[in-house]
Structure 1
Amino acid sequence: MAVVVAALLVLAGCTPDDGPSGAPSSPTPSTSATSTSPSLTATLATPGPAAVVLPAATAESAALEASQTVFAQAPVVALAAADDPAAQAVAATTATTVGAPLLLTGPAVPPPVLLDELDRLGTRWVLAHGAADLAVPAGVTVLHPDAAPSPAPTAASTPAPTPTQTPTPTPASLPRAARPEPVEGTVALTGVGAAPVAALATIAAAGIPVVDVPGGDPRATSAGVQALAAHHPAHVVAVGAAFGDPALLASRVATASSGQLAPGGGQLVFPQVPGLPGKRYFALYGTPGLPALGVLGEQDVPATVARAQAHADAFRTLTGDTVVPAVEIIATVASAAPEPDGSYSRAIPVETLRPLVEAAGAAGLAVVLDLQPGRTDFLTQAQQYSDLLALPYVGLALDPEWRLAPDQVHLRQIGSVGVDEINAVAAWLADLTRQRGLPQKMFVVHQFSLRMVDGRERLDTSHDELAVVIHVDGQGTQPAKAGTWATLRAGAPPVHWGWKNFYDEDQPMLDPAQTYAVQPVPDLVTYQ
């Protein structure tokens, strides 16, 4: 059956002669030699919402849902039994050859429901395969092509079957059929659960391209993103309830259609698709040109990129996930004295940061901009860097240690922030990401003490455009760091986790194998 599904995907996909929609072009409808016989060309339904999700709970219900969604009218319908895979395979070839829906008999779809669908479609001929049978009303003819001797070929323009297929053309007694004229701008999505052969045959018969979306999120893989970018569909038909809410799916398809890829491939920061690798990030932390603020200031831009790649390379043998090198750049630097605006935070100009940001992106690194706002709020500072955050590989980090109250000064008090301020930044960043059609962004909250984030239990992790990370910044002895790790993880909202290795302050600093032994394994590791 897998061979049949693969063949159907080929029939539904692009060919070198595809038109703008990526669907095979249709011939002029042909008729039989009998001039009184009308054309048996079906017509397709006008596309509905931007995304339609077919529940596809069973093979026969999936077949019915596909027919109802894709076809408006079908004089010819193929039929097989849901419990007869061999007959389905042959019927699938019939359906794709003549451009007809394929319906299945079975307990999930009672005969009256199938008859209602035949009536809606205006069906006059049912091509029943195997033992499939249906008591049809007067005016509808049931033929059994499997038993027809020397069947005649259908319209010359139908795609030739692959060597693994057994062609089942329309019987000679049937007027010649032609595939329906495809509707441009529609794509079908598969990739959740078992592929329903009959539903895919109906989709292929309509000339609708099919894109495989493992796990149901069209942003998950580079192949899926690139396929959707090539088609740029206005409408999608997703086969399987696991695709989820249609509005959310439509938003994800729109993002995928931009074709922009995140570091490590696809458009998700942390893809979680069964059978496919995830991602782990390994970053250098600091500010270019300022060695006192971390390792990013200890060398020039090319050497920084090479050093970040070398740190990440040390972890490649430890994981089956995709290893992504990264840099976390302090964009606004906490200052000991008030700045001219009284903020106790010095914002590094965008153009000063751009050389490292763009060099890192060009080399496939992820970039995170870190904010130390002093007496300014996080949102005000984040908006100053919207030009850099509009790049597909740049995320954002908030450092509450350096968020001061109006009467506080750095190094005299440890800063803190209310969760509502963090949530406001998250909402703004999610809007920016969605409006620009950008890949998902990493959104990091640094923390080494519970009191640094007031109301953390209300941290908003619902934005589909963001992957939220709580980055544990504890330093010192390894038992102390392990205690901080456990304390911050207890009762935390559903997030990803980051770990920091300090070259000088840790006693001792963990090597890559020891770092990867931390449980749960950190999703983001930074070096300072």
Structure 2
Amino acid sequence: MPGSPALGPLDKDLVTKAARLEKLSRAYAAGRTPLPVMELITVVAKASPGKDRMYRGRLPDAKIQEYLTVARKHRMLLLLDIQPGRAKILPEVKRLERWLKEPDVGLAFDPEWAVGPNQVPGRVFGRTTGAELDSIASYLSGLVQAHELPEKVFVFHQLSTRIVTGEQALKKHPGVVTIKSVDGIGAREDKVKTWGKVTANLPAGVHAGFKLFSTEDARHGPLMTPAQVLALRPRPEFVVYE
């Protein structure tokens, strides 16, 4: 997020970071052609209510355009990430429709920051359901078909099994590639355990993703290497560095 190094390395110096990302992505090729991705937190959860008491802030369109311009220059995808706070997720997704109609823009959802009407982000873990995720995937599928777009990426982040309930309600939708990104923090052995638990019952058609925390994970030992990440089963199709 711009100006927030704690929320990932893409807070500034985008051109330099894009070149670094291109180099890193090649370490994950494993016989395939890697596709680098910039993930931009477009709606961020906050500890204060704000004027509408939704406990979230929104990035201005001009800043989204700045990131999209750099992503396009380097032939990358741009994912717009939403941490909705108390707001409902689907209206927040639809608010970004002008961007989601672009051929190289996808969506990410961070449900641990999706809290109830009397809860505060950061004090409790938020949650979602398979049915809610399915409604988002269905909406994206409609955009793809209506505007004849390439496949649209939809990522949902998950750090523990309790974040998502009724996951099997999430179905495959034409034109949408759905990815569960496992966001467990800690030493390698702990991350691998979390990986096993959270990917144990992937719905049909949902791909697996894996997140590495450059600062938090490193406090517990060496950061996992690309070879170690690719050795996970199921093999991650999407790898995030934060």
Alignment of 1:75-474 (within 5 A): 287-297=1-11, 299-316=12-29, 319-461=30-172, 463-474=173-184
Distance across 2 between alignment mates of 1:300 and 1:387: 26
Which residue of 2 is the match for residue 523 of structure 1?
237
Measure the CA separation in 1 of the matches of 2:168 and 2:23: 37
Alpha-carbon distance in structure 2 between the residues aligned to 1:307 and 1:289: 19
Question: What is the CA deviation profile of residues 240-279 of structure 1, one whole-angstrom value per residue up to 9, with x for unaligned ones?
Answer: xxxxxxxxxxxxxxxxxxxxxxxxxxxxxxxxxxxxxxxx
Question: How far did 1:315 drift?
Answer: 2.7
Deviation at 1:329, TM superposition (A): 0.9
The alignment's C-alpha RMSD in Å is: 1.3
* C-alpha displacement of 1:349: 1.4
Equivalent residue for 2:189?
Answer: 479
Amino acid at match of 1:375: R
1:444/1:468 contact within 8 Å kept: yes
Q: CA contact under 8 A between 1:331 and 1:369: conserved in structure 2?
A: yes
AA in 1 matched with 2:170: L
Work out the number of aligned pairs and report it: 238
Distance 2:5 2:109 in 1: 21
Partner amino acid for 2:7?
L
The answer to whether the 8 A contact 2:131-2:167 is kept is no
Q: TM-score, normalised by structure 1?
A: 0.44
Distance in 2 (CA, whole Å) between partners of 1:488 and 1:332 is: 25
Tell whether the 8 Å contact from 2:22 to 2:36 is kept in structure 1 after alignment.
Answer: yes
- 1:506-521 map, 5 Å: 506=217, 507=220, 508-521=222-235
Which structure is higher in RCO with an 8 Å CA cutoff and minimum separation 6?
2
Deviations 1:53-94 (A, max 9, x none): xxxxxxxxxxxxxxxxxxxxxxxxxxxxxxxxxxxxxxxxxx
Distance, in Å, in 1 between the alignment partners of 2:184 and 2:8 is 16
C-alpha separation in 1, matches of 2:119 and 2:45: 12
CA distance in 2, matches of 1:361, 1:497: 25
In structure 2, C-alpha distance between the alignment counterparts of 1:326 and 1:491, rounded to whole Å: 26
Residue matched to 1:105 = none
Cα distance, 1:301 vs. partner? 2.4
Task: Please state how far the C-alpha of 1:409 moved relative to its aligned partner.
Answer: 0.8
Identity of aligned residues (%): 37
1:5-24 equivalences in 2 (<5 Å):
none
Misfit runs of 4+, over 4 Å: none
Aligned residue type for 1:499: F
Shift of 1:289: 2.9
Counterpart Cα distance in 2 of 1:519 and 1:483: 11
